[in-house]
Structure 1
Amino acid sequence: MRNYNHDVYPKSSFNFANEMNNYLTDYYRCPEQYAHLALKESPLVSRGYFRFGDCGTYFGKYHGRQLASRATETLHDGLSDAVIEEGSVSLCFDPAEVIENLRQELYAEDDSEGLSSLVAQAYYFVRPLLPVSVRSKLQKFRLRGWNKLKFPQWPVDCSVDLLLERLLLLSLRANKIERIPFIWFWPEGKSSCAIVTHDVETKVGRDFCRVLMDINDSFGIKASFQVVPEERYDVPMEYLDSIRQRGFEVVVHDLNHDGRLYKNRKQFLERVAKINSYGRQFGAKGFRAGVLYRKQPWYDAFEFSYDMSVPNVAHLDPQRGGCCTVMPYFLGNILEIPVTTIQDYTLFNILHDYSIDIWREQISLIMARHGLMSFIVHPDYVMGQQENGTYQSLLKHLATLRDEKSLWITTPGEVDSWWRQRTQMRVVEKQDGWGIEGPGKERAVLAWASERDGRLVVSLEGANEPDLQYPSKAAEQNWQSETTSR
């Protein structure tokens, strides 16, 4: 997250234009010389929802037109206002602001009162005494109507990724070139990425971790274990060592998982000091809040390298919203690795679904965008025969995709390390063509973005396979609405 005030534009229009273009070049890691985005100024500046092509929903300031106040209303197509002139793409909105509004969920209503309400406090006070069957009924009642929500888009929302893809295509047209080089998203040219994470909520779940590691190892899939430091169960160092010695990772999971981490700023700072201390004690680089509660403006207090608390689409979580991207992104110095798939608890106890159909659908949509799929599977909820069988079916499916579709299955810590390395790499032009410079470049692959039939296609340098086209027209209705060229 950049230090960027969207309510007061920087005095320098040059710096402002750089900020807009940086979001495009940071995402693709492409040369800055190809990014020429500009903002159309207008006396009329409204704030609301719009679209940019046939898919994706966006929220922010818009110049020259009144916008919808709700995502459910008819949305104006901002792509129709985009103009290509003199080698630049002029827009009626600032992509930097719009992207941050999605990534930080700034479009969502403040839910802080709901998180600290008397009802919520009462629920978490008695929660340890409630059987799963009772808890699931209460949660299902609270989540009623989730399937009628239009935004973010269930089961996966790629609004951020779609916007940046379209801006790269417009940049191709503005530069009047056939292709733009960029650094591929994943090492060794892997098609997409997947991580499996295990939130350990109870002593019973803690004691099942060894069995769960055996299951994971049988499929050759390592994972992270999110451990609650206080009150839920003892956390002996031998337990943490047993996880790390087998190649799995330890992540700090809240402080005591009572749902009150973000109750107020004072209490948060008191708790985060303890959480950071446990992070050092556990040797953990990552953090995840209990119940995926989050307040991104407070993240600067954390001393972790990465966080995993922000859902892609949160219709089935107590705190709704969603970051609308399937790629990691920075919130200050913290890398956010979003939760991009449905949790096992929700699947089993809210939807009463013991198949992997929803997971398979989400995997397909995410892989179409070459994104990251992040799974939360609790040791506490996969001890039953039916639930365990479903989990193993998921692992089998992921292993098949690893073998047949070049899926990179790794751990959150490895994603963090790679994404930080990629951020420091750059594409440079040499006498014999384009190349990649920076630490870790030996794992990076040069890719090319070009246009075909009005759509963006990407291909890898030296790959024998055909171009990797973004989602088919069946998955995403053809969005080649033309811009006005002058």
Structure 2
Amino acid sequence: MPSLPEHPVQFAFDGEIERLLRRWLTDDCTAAQLNWKFRTYYELRRWIPQTIKERLQQKRNRKLIVDPEWYLGNRFISEFRIALRKDLEADNTSVLHPWPRPYQHTLVLTHDVETADGFARIDRLARLEEHSGVRSTWFVIPHKYPIDWGLLTDLRDRGHEIGVHGYNHDGRLFASRRRFDSRTPLINKSIQEFSATGFRSPMVHRQLDWMQAIDMQYDASCFDVDPFQAMPGGVGGIWPFHVGRFVEIPYTMPQDHTLIRLGALDKNIWLKKMAQNRLLRGASTLITHPDYLESDEQLAEYRAFLDEATTDPSLWIALASDVANWWNDRCPPKHAMLETSQQDSACSQTQSADPRVRTTALKNLFADFLVEHAN
């Protein structure tokens, strides 16, 4: 039976858009299960050589039948257009702008560090970003490879952020509630040791109710659309949302390793998705990996994307923790006011005294989107 998380959920908008986001999250929570093939694979994965794992993943990705522009999420866009028009017809016009004044959209750069080789490449990739004037969030696995604590401290001192990437990246964190509960104290200890406020589950496996036990301010394990994930789903929306005790920040851009395995690492794909996200006043949250961005050509493509993205004065380039802090300031979660029915759970007004918070007309917020999708 489809259902939302048991814990209160609060979305960015009210009305028909809120109902659309609620339905997509419900479907994601229902779909977020591993089939028997993947359960077996993750039980055996520790004994499979890395080259064979990559070959299997590449073979699966190429066998999937998807639209060449799958990353644009056209089904959600069509449904959002209908919901938006219904809200405009109902005169639901006053909304909180998703982002702090004066910005119109957001870019959140994140990295999952999956191997010791990837960890060794962190500094090179971080300095590339710094050369473009940006900083990022690095999700590090606490129980898989040796941790260079000096490097983590240096990254924080340079303006980057460290997050926790699961337990040991074996794909079995959610195999059972017992296993999850046995690992949670060690994950929480790592969050303290890393001075982290954020978490991302390996392979973006997720169970949002269980994850309430993790001592985090935000999670980054959901996605808007990604047909290549072993645990299927997709929340559709490209805005953060509150779920229980934390802010959920979905990733909303194609991952680098997906594009590499499809033979299409191209900055223009990222720029095209970011342009659409701008129309929706959303967050462009990107996952890349120092493990996969290894060749000069790949690094040059990433650098070219950053150099072009940073020319947009309406773009807020933020750490994931900054986005989570902002989302709480913009509209604190109304946990105390929510009933178990979880009605009235979006946010159209704020009590925040932060001068960056602003109210705007719905038709003005999405004016560019309405022009683009006039027909």
TM-score (norm 2): 0.85
Residue 412 of structure 1 deviates from its aligned partner by 0.2
Structure whose CA Rg is larger: 1
Q: State whether residues 204 and 231 of structure 2, in contact with CA within 8 Å, keep that contact through their aligned partners in structure 1.
A: yes
**What corresponds to 1:245 in structure 2?**
157
- Percent identity over the alignment is 23
Q: State whether residues 165 and 202 of structure 2, in contact with CA within 8 Å, keep that contact through their aligned partners in structure 1.
A: yes
- State yes or no: 1:270 paired with 2:212: no
Q: Distance in 2 between matches of 1:329 and 1:136?
A: 33
Q: Deviations over 1:403-448 (max 9, x none)?
A: 3xx111111000000000001499xxxxxxxxx8644521223322
Q: Deviations over 1:122-157 (max 9, x none)?
A: 2x2134x322xx434311332322406999963784
Return the structure number with greater strand share. Answer: 1
Q: 1:152 to 1:242 in 2, by over 3 A?
A: closer
**What corresponds to 1:354 in structure 2?**
265
**What corresponds to 2:106 in structure 1?**
193
Residue 274 of structure 1 deviates from its aligned partner by 1.1
- Which of 1 and 2 has higher RCO (CA within 8 Å, sep 6+)? 2
- State yes or no: 1:105 paired with 2:41: no
More divergent stretch after superposition (221-230 vs 99-108): 99-108
- Equivalences for residues 121-200 of structure 1 within 5 A: 121-122=43-44, 124-127=45-48, 129-131=49-51, 134-143=52-61, 144-147=63-66, 154=73, 157-158=76-77, 162=81, 165-172=84-91, 180-200=93-113
Return the structure number with greater helix share. Answer: 2
Letter in 1 for 2:324: D
Q: State whether residues 2 and 332 of structure 1, in contact with CA within 8 Å, keep that contact through their aligned partners in structure 2.
A: no
Q: State whether residues 155 and 313 of structure 1, in contact with CA within 8 Å, keep that contact through their aligned partners in structure 2.
A: no
Runs of 4+ displaced beyond 4 Å: 1-5, 148-153, 158-164
Q: State whether residues 28 and 235 of structure 2, in contact with CA within 8 Å, keep that contact through their aligned partners in structure 1.
A: no
**SS of structure 1 residue aligned to 2:27:** coil
Across the two proteins, how many residue pairs are aligned to each other?
Answer: 358
Q: State whether residues 32 and 231 of structure 2, in contact with CA within 8 Å, keep that contact through their aligned partners in structure 1.
A: no
Q: Distance in 2 between matches of 1:214 and 1:200?
A: 16
Q: Deviations over 1:179-238 (max 9, x none)?
A: x3332211113010011001111122212211212111111111001000002x112432
- State yes or no: 1:457 paired with 2:355: no
**What corresponds to 2:326 in structure 1?**
418
Q: Distance in 2 between matches of 1:303 and 1:396?
A: 35
**What corresponds to 1:27 in structure 2?**
12
**SS of structure 1 residue aligned to 2:101:** helix
More divergent stretch after superposition (147-156 vs 258-267): 147-156
**What corresponds to 2:206 in structure 1?**
294
Q: Deviations over 1:60-90 (max 9, x none)?
A: xxxxxxxxxxxxxxxxxxxxxxxxxxxxxxx
Gaps of 5+ in 2: 335-348
Letter in 2 for 1:273: P
**What corresponds to 1:235 in structure 2?**
147
Q: Distance in 2 between matches of 1:191 and 1:340?
A: 16
Q: 1:378 to 1:156 in 2, by over 3 A?
A: farther
Q: 1:108 to 1:147 in 2, by over 3 A?
A: farther
Q: State whether residues 12 and 240 of structure 2, in contact with CA within 8 Å, keep that contact through their aligned partners in structure 1.
A: no
**SS of structure 2 residue aligned to 1:361:** helix
**SS of structure 1 residue aligned to 2:139:** strand
- State yes or no: 1:120 paired with 2:31: no
**SS of structure 1 residue aligned to 2:237:** coil
**What corresponds to 1:476 in structure 2?**
373
Q: Deviations over 1:2-58 (max 9, x none)?
A: 8879xxxxxxxxxxxxx9xx96xx624xxxxxx7x7xxxxxxxxxxxxxx9xxx9xx
Q: Distance in 1 between matches of 2:70 and 2:123?
A: 39
- Equivalences for residues 358-437 of structure 1 within 5 A: 358-401=269-312, 403=313, 406-424=314-332
Alpha-carbon RMSD across the aligned residues, in angstroms, is 3.2
Residue 262 of structure 1 deviates from its aligned partner by 0.6
Q: 1:170 to 1:379 in 2, by over 3 A?
A: same
